[in-house]
A = this chain, B = another copy of it.
């Protein structure tokens, strides 16, 4: 079996089906927080298959201020305007980046007006509401893709190929982690990520733990069966959520076990390791979009390391979404895939409460 990693492979778009001249999908940006303004809109401006034509916020003034920063934007709407059906001729799809518990109403509006959706992860604040989105995806003409940017990240896709091609033998164990000092990044104890009304089950598994969880699913091409977990909050800013720090173990349907952790109050760190019977692949840093990334592959005593500059993960993701919409194909990950993560996160929170193992799908609502 050959064992080589080509640096050239790390910006390959193995997913592209559409001609670069095929046009663009016109995006309405829903929710104008820092992520949308500083990450998503610049990424779309750099993309081939998408452009931002509409911006939507709670207040008209905010929407208009953001609209003024981008030449392509023709309409600035409030959430109420969007739901009432204003400017439906000006966009083809919604990018939903509101707080978790405010995804469903805009997915419902998209379905009503025959628009597609790129919906931020986690898909909603609860299994029940995520299931409603999955129903819309399955039963209407609107297609819902969940914005797992790691699934269109070239390094992660190369890791998945290595595992699928048997370069590490049979996968055995995964370690994954993501942490950041949230209160240094956003020094406000009243932010929505710390408010269960907006975030859902908690602050950390929903926002960060979902990265090692979902990336392990993608790299292994396997789904979670059961979980154990320990959640802890001690800092007063985390008084309303159980998971300032979270550790959880996920048993997958291929027999692999993933030992994961995440924290909103720790050193900024991320990694993903997949150990197999004959080798291992390590991504570190793994999940932060602004960092130079490294992939290390070992087989016995042989070791190859490739370091790659940051890619515009959000540009990759929007272009993939645009490519599939223009091609008339369903993008992946779909809402049914996103629902499994919500069921897993609900199980992790129940396991954290009870201390015991919880089967995915069995957590109480």
Which residues of the partner chain B approach A169 to less than 8 Å between Cβ atoms? Answer: 266-267
Q: Which residues of B contact A255 (CB under 8 A)?
A: 232, 234
A293 contacts the other chain (CB 8 A): no
Contact call A261/B356, Cβ cutoff below 8 A:
no
- Nearest residue (CB) in B for A261 is B173
Interface residues of A in 128-187 (CB under 8 A from B): 168-169, 172-173, 175, 177, 179, 181
- What chain B residues lie within 8 Å of A232 (beta carbons)? 255, 257
Measured between beta carbons, the chain B residues less than 8 angstroms from A249 are: 228, 230, 247, 249, 259
In the complex, which residues of chain B have a beta carbon less than 8 angstroms from the beta carbon of A29? none
Contact B257 A230 (CB under 8 A): yes
The verdict on A266 contacting B277 (CB below 8 Å), with A175-B175, A357-B228 known, is yes
Q: Is A260 an interface residue (CB 8 A)?
A: yes
Q: How large is the interface on A (under 10, 10 to 19, 20 to 34, 35 or more residues)?
A: 35 or more
In contact, B257 and A269 (Cβ under 8 angstroms): no
Chain B residues, Cβ within 8 Å of A257: 230, 232, 245, 247, 261
Asked whether, in the complex, the Cβ of B267 is within 8 Å of the Cβ of A168, the reply is yes
Q: Does A75 contact B (CB under 8 A)?
A: no
With A228-B249, A230-B251, A249-B247 in contact, is A175–B266 under 8 Å at CB? no
Say whether B168 contacts A173, CB under 8 Å: no
The CA of A247 and the CA of B173, in the complex, are separated in Å by: 8
A31 within 8 A of B: no
CA of A356 to CA of B354, assembled, Å: 9
A259-B179 in contact given A355-B226, A356-B356 (Cβ < 8 Å): no
* Residues A214-237 near B (CB distance < 8 A): 226, 228, 230, 232, 234
Specify which chain B residues have a CB less than 8 angstroms from the CB of A259 in the assembled complex.
175, 247, 249, 259-261
Q: Are B177 and A299 in contact (CB under 8 A)?
A: no
A268 to B168, CA, bound (A): 12
Name the CB-closest residue of B to A244.
B172
Q: Is the C-beta of A276 less than 8 angstroms from some C-beta in chain B?
A: yes
Each complex incorporates copies of this chain amounting to 2
In this complex, which of A173, A251, A357 has the most chain B Cβ atoms within 10 angstroms of its Cβ?
Answer: A173
Q: Given that A230-B249, A245-B173 are contacting pairs, would A267 and B300 also be in contact in the complex, using a CB cutoff of 8 Å?
A: yes
The digit string for A241-282, where 1 denotes a CB below 8 A from any CB of B, is: 000010101010001010111010111110000011111100
Residue of B nearest to A359 (CB): B355
A345 to B259 alpha-carbon distance, docked (Å):
18
**Which one of A181, A268, A276, A357 has the highest number of Cβ atoms from chain B below 10 Å of its Cβ?**
A357
A298 at the interface (CB under 8 A from B): yes
- Which partner residue on chain B sits nearest A247 by CB separation? B257
Report whether A261 and B175 are in contact in the complex, using a CB–CB cutoff of 8 Å: yes
Once bound together, how far apart are the Cα atoms of A276 and B179, in whole Å?
A: 10
**Closest B residue by C-beta to A171:** B266
Chain B residues near A181: list those with CB within 8 A. Answer: 277
Interface residue ranges, A against B (CB under 8 Å): 168-169, 172-173, 175, 177, 179, 181, 226, 228, 230, 232, 234, 245, 247, 249, 251, 255, 257, 259-261, 263, 265-269, 275-280, 298-300, 355-357
A-B contact pairs, 11 of them (CB 8 A): A173-B247, A175-B175, A175-B261, A177-B275, A228-B228, A228-B355, A232-B255, A263-B275, A266-B277, A267-B276, A269-B280
Q: Which A-B residue pairs are the 9 nearest by beta carbons?
A: A259-B259, A228-B228, A355-B357, A247-B257, A356-B356, A173-B261, A172-B266, A267-B280, A175-B175
